[in-house]
Amino acid sequence: MTVFTVDGVRMDIPERMLVPNLRAALEEARYEGQERRALRAHLRPGDRVLELGAGAGLLAVLAARVVGAEAVTAVEANPEMLDIIRATLRENGAPGVRLLHGAVVPDEAAGGAVEFHVHPGFWSAALAPNPRLKARRHAVPALGFRALLDEADANVLVCDIEGGEE
């Protein structure tokens, strides 16, 4: 494990999940920089957050520091990241964040499972295969967007999933 600290959040990331660009972003505290700035600018106590694409758990921790862990739901499709996210939440005082495993899909595609491609460097995993990258494939739960939004009763959406922003 390699330990990184960004905005006071400690994250232990396995060496096998780091690629040079990702390592540099973490070491230089640029990781999730735009998203962190957006949270600081817009998140207020009383908000309820739904984060799609939890990554290493950084944004979930930062959101929990503002709104409380019980007001944050984080979703991550990459099964290889779930224990890392749980550790990040626990080590940074936010174990009460609700963490869900699955890929966010249009409501009509929800239920069952979808194939998820995990590339070297956890930040580039995606539903769509990328033939240029060596990927490990996993079947993950297909979670409908509207159901997630309603269940979380969220008024703030943090979305950093490859292609999902569309």
Tell me the average pLDDT across 120-125: 78
pLDDT at 135: 84
Tell me the average pLDDT across 73-102: 97
pLDDT tier at 76, thresholds 50, 70, 90: very high
- The pairs formed by 62-66 with CB atoms below 8 angstroms and a separation of 24 or more are 62/7, 62/9, 62/36, 63/39, 63/156, 63/158, 64/89, 64/93, 64/94, 64/96, 64/97, 65/94, 66/39
Tell me the average pLDDT across 125-137: 81
Q: Which residue did the predictor score with more confidence, 124 or 64? A: 64
Predicted confidence (pLDDT) at residue 122 exceeds the cutoff of 70: yes
